């Protein structure tokens, strides 16, 4: 199979969302009048972002999901994706699985694959995503104010626990716990509806990809504020909750959660509780924004816990 057959067979879909899709020198898309366009790109490299033995369906899902998560963090509705990939060889079984995972998720959020690039090389996947939101309504990392509450969606630390066990199997994690953690690692669910709903209430938002401490840190840096979070309030799997002090790094600095961390004025507590019920998405109040700089973790009896790791950084570890 040559490159063009491969593109036609695996990456070309009929789509009503594009004026011109895969097959020309460029795609043509028609932005919704009165909206701003948001653009983001994310790359996944074998050995860095996923293990070589990952299920291709999971990889297809995750490749798109991590990009959709960036749109969620901006309060945007994702619309068009571009997929650039380097493949070591043409493996039809792998391609079938990968595109299944990718397009199942794309369909659910009405995202069209509008183009991309295909080359041979070490397995690398790069998605560029375009999204929209009404002019001026997008959310940023900047905007948190002293006195705001800090919230997080879903549960944190489970994906990191799965990675940790896969790297060095040092803890006696029950098999059923590991299975749910692995599912969270392989099939992250981007919080698109939540991001859109947060336009009304959030002062700042970030998605948790590099660990809660590191990503909340971005909100603090961009907003020039400080924060305190309650370690006991951080929502996680029941089993990990019993180990939260022994596994603090996994919980707050592990990453791969793809949940949203956001700040909102106290006056919105009721609205956020309602939102949580409407979206059937757990939303947990974990701390608050203060004046100053830096992030403090508080444990039992207000004791302060030193933070050891600042999340995942590709160039410093
Ligand atoms: P060009 O040589 O003009 O850059 P390509 O041969 O790279 O064009 O791509 C041909 C068409 O296929 C383009 O519309 C491009 O966007 C699309 N395409 C290539 N690879 C992919 C892919 N992996 N997924 C989706 N579309 C792709
Ligand atoms: Mg090209």
Q: What is the pLDDT of residues 125-138, one digit of tens each?
A: 999 999 999 999 99
From the alpha carbon of 24, which atom of ligand 1 is closest?
14
Instruction: Please give the pLDDT value at position 302.
Output: 80
Segment among 110-114, 198-202, 248-252, 288-292 with least mean pLDDT = 248-252
* Distance between Cα 270 and ligand 1 center (Å): 48
pLDDT band at 48 (very low <50, low <70, confident <90, very high): confident
Q: What is the pLDDT of residues 63-107, one digit of tens each?
A: 999 999 999 999 999 999 999 999 999 999 999 999 999 999 999
How do beta strands 226-230 and 294-298 pair? parallel
Judge whether residue 303 has pLDDT over 70. yes
Judge whether residue 193 has pLDDT over 90. yes
Judge whether residue 311 has pLDDT over 60. no
Q: What global pTM score does this model have?
A: 0.94
* Distance between Cα 255 and ligand 1 center (Å): 32
pLDDT band at 313 (very low <50, low <70, confident <90, very high): low
* Distance between Cα 26 and ligand 1 center (Å): 8
Instruction: Please give the pLDDT value at position 300.
Output: 86
List alpha helices for 144-286, DSSP H. Answer: 158-167, 175-186, 192-198, 212-223, 238-241, 248-253, 269-278
Question: Is residue 132 within 8 Å of 79, Cβ to Cβ?
Answer: yes
Q: Which ligand is nearest to the CA of 114?
A: 1
Its sign, for the CA torsion 167, 173, 174, 180, is negative
* Distance between Cα 36 and ligand 2 center (Å): 27
| Residue to probe by mutation, ligand 1, list 117, 123, 124, 128, most atoms within 8 Å of CB | 117
Name the residue at shortest CA distance from atom 4 of ligand 1.
Answer: 25
Q: What is the mean pLDDT of residues 265-294?
A: 98
Q: What is the mean pLDDT of residues 267-294?
A: 98
User: Pocket residues for ligand 1 (CB within 6 Å)?
Assistant: 7, 11, 22-25, 83, 85, 113, 115-118
Question: Is residue 225 within 8 Å of 271, Cβ to Cβ?
Answer: no
* Distance between Cα 38 and ligand 2 center (Å): 23
Instruction: Please give the pLDDT value at position 294.
Output: 93
Dihedral angle computed from the Cα positions of residues 91, 93, 97 and 102, in that order, rounded to the nearest 10 degrees: 30
From the alpha carbon of 85, which atom of ligand 1 is closest?
23
Name the residue at shortest CA distance from atom 16 of ligand 1.
Answer: 115
Instruction: Please give the pLDDT value at position 309.
Output: 53
CA-nearest of 220, 218, 197, 224 to 279 is 197
Instruction: Please give the pLDDT value at position 314.
Output: 57
* Distance between Cα 264 and ligand 1 center (Å): 42
33 class by beta-carbon count within 10 Å (0-12 exposed, 13-18 middle, 19+ buried): exposed
Name the residue at shortest CA distance from atom 27 of ligand 1.
Answer: 116
């Amino acid at each position: 199979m040559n490159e063009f057959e491969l593109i036609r067979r695996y990456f070309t879909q009929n789509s009503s969302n594009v004026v011109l899709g895969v097959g020309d020198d460029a795609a043509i898309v028609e932005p919704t009048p009165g909206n701003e366009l948001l653009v983001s790109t994310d790359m996944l490299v074998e050995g860095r972002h996923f293990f070589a033995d990952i299920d291709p369906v999971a990889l297809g899902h995750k490749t798109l999901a991590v990009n959709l998560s960036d749109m969620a963090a901006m309060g945007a509705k994702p619309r068009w994706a571009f997929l650039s990939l380097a493949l070591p060889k043409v493996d039809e079984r792998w391609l079938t699985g990968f595109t299944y995972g990718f397009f199942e998720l794309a369909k659910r959020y009405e995202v069209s694959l509008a183009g991309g690039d295909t080359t041979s090389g070490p397995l690398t996947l790069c998605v560029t995503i375009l999204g929209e939101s009404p002019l001026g309504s997008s959310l940023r990392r900047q905007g948190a104010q002293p006195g705001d509450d800090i919230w997080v969606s879903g549960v944190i630390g489970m994906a990191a626990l799965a990675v940790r066990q896969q790297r060095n199997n040092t803890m006696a994690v029950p098999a059923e716990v590991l299975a749910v953690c692995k599912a969270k690692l392989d099939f992250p669910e981007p919080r698109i509806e939540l991001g859109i709903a947060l336009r009304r209430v959030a002062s700042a938002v970030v998605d948790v990809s590099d660990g809660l401490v590191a990503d909340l840190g971005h909100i603090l840096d961009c907003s020039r504020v400080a924060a305190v979070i309650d370690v006991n309030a951080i929502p996680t799997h029941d089993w990990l909750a019993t180990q939260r002090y022994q596994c603090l790094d996994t919980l707050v600095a592990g990453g791969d959660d793809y949940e949203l961390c956001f700040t909102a004025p106290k006056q919105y507590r009721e609205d956020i509780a309602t939102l949580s019920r409407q979206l059937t998405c757990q939303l947990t109040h974990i701390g608050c924004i203060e004046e100053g700089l830096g992030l403090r973790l508080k444990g039992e009896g207000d004791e302060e816990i030193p933070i050891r790791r600042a999340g995942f950084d590709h160039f410093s570890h």
